[in-house]
């Protein structure tokens, strides 16, 4: 692990927002019900995929843990346990991170294929199916301060554990893809994934204020140029 990555991880370990005092290593973890689009949020941590230089938000284990810690009630407790484990096994961070990014890319390609009404490539399907099988099961429903939650076992050093809610989300979303209407932004530079919740089911852009308006402006400019040429 590089010096910069080590410092980032060390800072994250000391951050009370991610690793609060009193968290017991080896304790079971309480997970709130998972959002259907959590797997899409994770796949979109690499954006502007159609550009020569896409925007990467996860540049190391510290970024990955910070992302998990920000996911509302879904994943902060997993980040807490991962931080404690990595504090004792710092050399394992790179391997776990590489596995997590590999899962993200297989997930993105799978969801993008579904969004375009294509069959998921067999290698991506197998990688994703294996990761979902390796994720800890939601096998016990309990009461919690916020209502109800799932419990899973203590942290295991695997991307499939750290990203368990992401994988549960994918496992729930993909078989019901037609109902959820998975879409990919029509901007060829953007390629952001989203769920189409419009009444008509014809949403094309991740955000009308950005990609949608850019497309409108491009069409208008093209018409103006055609008019100039015709004149």
Identify the residue whose tokens are 């399907």. Answer: 125
Q: Alpha carbon of 39 to those of 82, 151, 163, 172: distances in Å?
A: 19, 20, 9, 10
Q: What is the mean pLDDT of residues 29-45?
A: 89
**pLDDT score of 21:** 43
Q: Contact 115/183 with Cβ under 8 angstroms?
A: yes
**pLDDT score of 24:** 46
Share of the chain above pLDDT 90, in %: 50
Q: What is the mean pLDDT of residues 133-152?
A: 86
Structure confidence by residue, pLDDT tens digits, 42-72 = 999 999 999 999 999 999 999 999 999 888 7
113: pLDDT strictly greater than 90:
yes
Least confident segment among 137-141, 165-169, 203-207: 137-141
Strands 29-31 and 147-152: antiparallel
Residue 154: pLDDT band (50, 70, 90) is confident
Which carries the bigger pLDDT value, residue 24 or residue 144? Answer: 144
Q: Alpha carbon of 215 to those of 45, 53, 84, 222: distances in Å?
A: 23, 20, 47, 11
**pLDDT score of 27:** 59
Q: Contact 32/73 with Cβ under 8 angstroms?
A: yes
Rg, Å, the chain Cα set: 20
93: pLDDT strictly greater than 70:
yes
Arithmetic mean of pLDDT over the chain: 83
Question: Domain residues of the chain, as ranges?
Answer: 3-182
The verdict on domain 3-182 having CATH code 1.10.3300 is yes
């Amino acid at each position: 692990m590089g010096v910069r990555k080590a410092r980032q991880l060390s800072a994250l370990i000391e951050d009370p927002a991610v690793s609060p005092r009193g968290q017991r290593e080896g304790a079971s973890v309480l997970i709130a019900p998972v959002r259907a689009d959590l797997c899409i949020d994770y796949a979109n941590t690499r954006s502007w995929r159609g550009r020569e230089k896409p925007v990467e938000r996860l540049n190391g284990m510290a970024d990955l843990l910070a992302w998990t810690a920000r996911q509302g009630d879904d994943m902060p407790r997993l980040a807490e346990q991962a931080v404690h484990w990595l504090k004792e096994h710092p050399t394992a961070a790179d391997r776990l991170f590489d596995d997590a990014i590999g899962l993200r890319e297989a997930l993105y390609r799978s969801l993008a294929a579904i969004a375009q009404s294509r069959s998921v490539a067999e290698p991506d399907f197998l990688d994703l199916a294996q990761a979902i099988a390796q994720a800890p099961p939601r096998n016990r429903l309990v009461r919690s301060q916020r209502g109800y939650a799932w419990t899973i076992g203590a942290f295991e050093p695997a991307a499939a554990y750290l990203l368990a809610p992401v994988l549960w989300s994918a496992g729930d979303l993909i078989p019901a893809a037609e109902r959820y209407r998975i879409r990919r932004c029509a901007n060829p530079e953007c390629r952001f994934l989203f769920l189409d919740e419009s009444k008509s089911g014809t949403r094309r852009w991740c955000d009308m204020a950005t990609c949608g308006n850019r497309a409108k402006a491009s069409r208008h400019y093209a018409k103006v140029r055609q008019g100039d040429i015709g004149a």
